[in-house]
Amino acid sequence: MAVRTERTGRSSVWRNWAGNVAARPVRSVSPSSTQDLVEAVRGAAAEGLPVKAVGTGHSFSTAAATDGLLIRPDRLVGVREVDREAGTVTVAAGTPLKQLNETLSAHGLSLANMGDIMEQTVAGATSTGTHGTGRDSASISAQIAGLELVTADGSVLRCSAQEHPEVFAAARVGLGALGVVSAITFRVEPEFLLTAREEPMPFDRVLADFPQLAGENEHFEFYWFPHTGNCNTKRNNRSPGPAAPVGRVSGWVDDELLSNGVFQVACSVGRAVPAAIPGIARISSRALSARSYTDIPYKVFTSPRRVRFLEMEYALPREAAPDALRELKRTVDRSDLRVSFPVEVRTAPADDIPLSTASGRDTAYIAVHLYRGTPHRAYFTAAEQIMTAHGGRPHWGKLHSRDAAYLAGVYPRFGEFTALRDRLDPDRLFANDYLRRVLGD
């Protein structure tokens, strides 16, 4: 099947989910097969056009922006193979995580861990290091068993721990710098049940007990509401059952009415009247009550996110997180900053992926957000200064100001990745301004 060219001309604009990134490619294409993708890459190389693949635009950084050829994911979708004996599933790169999760569930299978939204494509999520929270189970990228990659010369490179292992090691979080991912094979397991326990907890108690809470639970996370001393905690642990899903009415009230509908209104009021934000925060932090439920993994890990925002997230050595959070709270309390969104804190075990934010160290993630349209620079800059003082690593798909000089100092295997990039893409077919900043040129 021929590659479908969707748009031509600089008047066609691609925008990300948050609306803070726009790209005007020369043209965009939607391949439906690996061969289509090969033809698109070869054609762009012959014309001297840079190439970038986009997912569903859930990154806040300009990682996918290009003024060359934009590869769209909407036709490169679907499950290619389910191998129950090997415990793997292979899917096309543009498959949304939602579709993957639903298909796995239909086969009685599941990923071990996942992030808290599932609108991203599998390639977009893994290429930027999307993660959930876990004591023992790591990011989505760490669950990859194999990759199919179209490289700058138009070759199709299949890699795993046994086949081209040096490419496999790096390409699991590849930033789009090594080639265009065309398919991914994930390790999966028989579907299981998780019991979620959500409850409010004071900020000081959460930080004092953080090592214990993170160590005693398979999946622990919490949200701190700035301008308050209040947090909401969530503990997910495997359960023998029986399933006890959230009730339809109570789930709608908590997950749609309060977490999306009412929160949307509160954020809009806060944007218009910043002085109202501390009061709104005190009310919001008490709105969600304790609850417990048991369900299949993706229905516990993920939740709808309809309020649009901007986000910065840093990965810190896990032991540094409490001090960094105390510093952030002091900064907010002593400043004129007005922060309408809670701060999200998660964990991950060390992994062996060169540019994973958890590479080589047990990690805690601290994510700051602001409602879209709210001035964010002062808050994000203050938070970034705290995080970098603790050796923080920025999430590749979220806002940050770090460059290659800084990143080489916090990633021991940074040079290993850039050397592989030199070999696979010497002419920088897959480069853009973002990669030139974070990887150098």
372-429 pLDDT per residue, tens: 999 999 999 999 999 999 999 999 999 999 999 999 999 999 999 999 999 999 999 9
pLDDT at 264: 79
Query: Between 8 and 89, where is the model more confident?
Result: 89
In terms of residues, how long is the chain? 441
Q: What is the mean pLDDT of residues 338-359?
A: 97
| Edge-to-edge strand list for the sheet holding 193-202 | 291-295, 193-202, 230-239, 219-224, 343-348, 363-371, 309-317, 393-394
Tens digits of residue pLDDT in 24-54:
999 999 999 999 999 999 999 999 999 999 9
Q: What is the mean pLDDT of residues 328-342?
A: 96
| Edge-to-edge strand list for the sheet holding 144-150 | 79-83, 88-92, 180-187, 144-150, 156-160
C-alpha to C-alpha distance for 220 and 207, rounded to whole angstroms: 13
Q: What is the mean pLDDT of residues 328-336?
A: 97
Asked whether residue 1 carries a pLDDT value surpassing 60, the answer given is no
Tens digits of residue pLDDT in 369-386:
999 999 999 999 999 999
Q: Give the type of residue at 90.
A: T
Q: Give the type of residue at 110.
A: S
pLDDT at 253: 45
Closest CA relative to residue 126, chosen from 110, 115, 136, 137:
115
Task: Band the pLDDT of 252: cuts 50, 70, 90.
Answer: very low
Residues 267 and 261 sit within 8 Å (Cβ to Cβ): no
Quick count: other Cβ atoms within 10 Å of Cβ 323? 14
Closest CA relative to residue 88, chosen from 37, 161, 195, 32:
161
Asked whether residue 179 carries a pLDDT value surpassing 60, the answer given is yes
Query: Percentage of residues in the chain with pLDDT exceeding 90?
Result: 85
Query: Between 269 and 352, where is the model more confident?
Result: 352
Q: What is the mean pLDDT of residues 109-117?
A: 96
Asked whether residue 250 carries a pLDDT value surpassing 70, the answer given is no
> 3-state class of 215 per DSSP?
helix
**For the stretch 258-278, what's the b/e string if a residue is b when 16 or more beta carbons lie within 10 angstroms of its beta carbon?**
bbbeebeebbeebbeebeebb
Ranking 124-133, 211-220, 277-286, 394-403 by mean pLDDT, the lowest is: 277-286
Task: Band the pLDDT of 2: cuts 50, 70, 90.
Answer: low
pLDDT at 241: 92
Residue 290 phi, psi dihedral angles, 5° rounding: -65, 145
pLDDT at 256: 53
Task: Band the pLDDT of 317: cuts 50, 70, 90.
Answer: very high
C-alpha to C-alpha distance for 28 and 4, rounded to whole angstroms: 9
Query: Between 262 and 206, where is the model more confident?
Result: 206
Tens digits of residue pLDDT in 46-74:
999 999 999 999 999 999 999 999 999 99
Query: Between 319 and 9, where is the model more confident?
Result: 319
C-alpha to C-alpha distance for 152 and 82, rounded to whole angstroms: 29
Task: Band the pLDDT of 261: cuts 50, 70, 90.
Answer: low
pLDDT at 255: 59
Q: What is the chain's mean pLDDT, rounded?
A: 93
Asked whether residue 247 carries a pLDDT value surpassing 80, the answer given is no
**Alpha-carbon distances, residue 117 vs 101, 127, 303 (angstroms):** 11, 16, 6
